[in-house]
Structure 1
Amino acid sequence: MNAGIIGQAAGLFAVTNIDDIVILALFFAQGAGHLRIVLGQYIGFAGILVVAVAAAFGATFLPESAVPYLGLLPLALGLKAAWQVWRADADGDGDGDDPPARGGGPKALEVAAVTFANGGDNIGVYVPVFATSGISGMTVYVVVFLILVAVWCLAGRFFATRPLIAGALSRWGHILLPLVLIGLGVVILVEGGAFGF
């Protein structure tokens, strides 16, 4: 039975977090700060798990109506990153093709905020699964998810270092990251019905 739950947990994680690989690859492509990216991914995903486990036991830290507004986090970070790209170009620090200096990549809390916001809708999927799995089943899900966060980080790093992908991310990643974050924020807001959309 544990093998069955492990497979179900791995499948659930993969289906609900496939988009994270793209975001992680963009973060890793920014250069240094790989430990901060991994730490941020774990902090953000741990936040998702804490809320989902607590909700499975009946606690509600985050009202369902607030989940769409998590889109404001990646939207704000995307706008900040876009501002930095624009400032670097305006100051003559780049010719538009070179990524601006970012001080060693994203900060752990920036990655955590994007991870939590991107996974906010996953909470609604995880809660009923956790609630019906019992304590032992829920523990298996949590352990498998935490192991797979490391696998996702490795996959993001892998894609960011493939010559073809790395070349494209090196050339365009500083532009793609703000666009992806802004797009992610808008999608979370619109799909969740925030602000009456």
Structure 2
Amino acid sequence: MENLTSVSLAITLFASTNLDDLFVLVGFFSDPRYRLRQVAIGQYLGLSALVLASLAGSLLSLVVAPVWFGLLGLLPIVLGTRRLLALRSDDGDEAASEPASLGKVLAVAGVTIANGGDNIGIYTPVFATSAAPRLVLVLAVFAVMVALWLGFAHWLVHHPALGAPIRRIGRVATPFVLIGIGAMVLVEAGTLSWVTG
């Protein structure tokens, strides 16, 4: 019964904090330059970093002010702006400026981390109050949930009926989604108000 409660908690925790990640994953899968492997590795790296930061969150919050974490919001803004500029240019020379495979993995990981600022605040108290067996079970459920999120986003983008419109909309909407996520991170962390005085 306790394991079932832990699994339910983990599913609820993951789904409630990563719903917006589905839109980000659809955006990455809509971009033909990103391969499934690159997005999957980046997503797992990003979530692993969030989990590690959550485990160390109580210590980090004593040393690092949240406004500094908000600077991570600049990464999705930069990526979104670059994509927006690439959409506007009709020279078809995207391949020349295409980032390397590692760059794509790191881009996905960076957006996952930047988008996960709220995750740290929510995960930290749950992890801090969980016994080791429960914590291992929660992390295992998280790993499965990432795979489900990746699978669902990939399925949506490649669905026979839904895929083409989603790819078309995703290609145009993704830059705005990334810029919006970055702006939200900057505002919610208090970084924007701190910078503007």
TM-score, normalised via structure 2 length = 0.85
Gaps of 5+ in 2: none
Instruction: Return the alpha-carbon distance in structure 1 between the equivalents of residues 168 and 66 of structure 2.
Output: 39
What SS does structure 1 have at the residue aligned with 2:74?
helix
Query: Quick one: structure 1 residues 9 and 62, their matched pair in 2 at CA, closer, same or farther if it must change by over 3 Å?
Result: farther
Corresponding residue for residue 97 of structure 1: none
- Kindly report which structure 2 residues correspond to 1:80-91, keeping only aligned pairs within 5 A, or say none: 80-87=82-89, 89=90, 91=91
Instruction: Return the alpha-carbon distance in structure 2 between the equivalents of residues 140 and 53 of structure 1.
Output: 15
Structure 1 residue 10: deviation in Å? Answer: 0.8
Query: Quick one: structure 1 residues 143 and 171, their matched pair in 2 at CA, closer, same or farther if it must change by over 3 Å?
Result: same
Query: Quick one: structure 1 residues 64 and 190, their matched pair in 2 at CA, closer, same or farther if it must change by over 3 Å?
Result: closer
Instruction: Return the alpha-carbon distance in structure 2 between the equivalents of residues 184 and 65 of structure 1.
Output: 16
Corresponding residue for residue 69 of structure 2: 67
Instruction: Return the alpha-carbon distance in structure 1 between the equivalents of residues 183 and 38 of structure 2.
Output: 25
Conserved? CA contact 1:51–1:62, under 8 Å:
no
Instruction: Return the alpha-carbon distance in structure 2 between the equivalents of residues 59 and 69 of structure 1.
Output: 15
**Which whole-Å deviations, capped at 9, do the CAs of 1:118-169 have from their partners, x for residues lacking one?**
1122100000011111222222211111121111100110111123432123
1:5 aligns with 2:2: no
Instruction: State how many pairs are aligned.
Output: 188
Conserved? CA contact 1:67–1:121, under 8 Å:
no
Corresponding residue for residue 171 of structure 2: 174
Conserved? CA contact 2:7–2:141, under 8 Å:
yes
Amino acid at match of 1:11: T
Hey, which bits of structure 1, 4+ residues long, moved more than 6 A? none
Sequence identity, in percent? 35
Instruction: Return the alpha-carbon distance in structure 2 between the equivalents of residues 115 and 125 of structure 1.
Output: 15
Instruction: Return the alpha-carbon distance in structure 1 between the equivalents of residues 142 and 19 of structure 2.
Output: 13
Amino acid at match of 1:116: I
Structure 1 residue 68: deviation in Å? Answer: 2.2
- Kindly report which structure 2 residues correspond to 1:101-120, keeping only aligned pairs within 5 A, or say none: 103=98, 107-120=104-117
Instruction: Return the alpha-carbon distance in structure 2 between the equivalents of residues 18 and 172 of structure 1.
Output: 19
**Which whole-Å deviations, capped at 9, do the CAs of 1:2-35 have from their partners, x for residues lacking one?**
1110111011101110111111111112225110
**CA RMSD in angstroms, aligned pairs only:** 2.3
What SS does structure 2 have at the residue aligned with 1:163?
coil
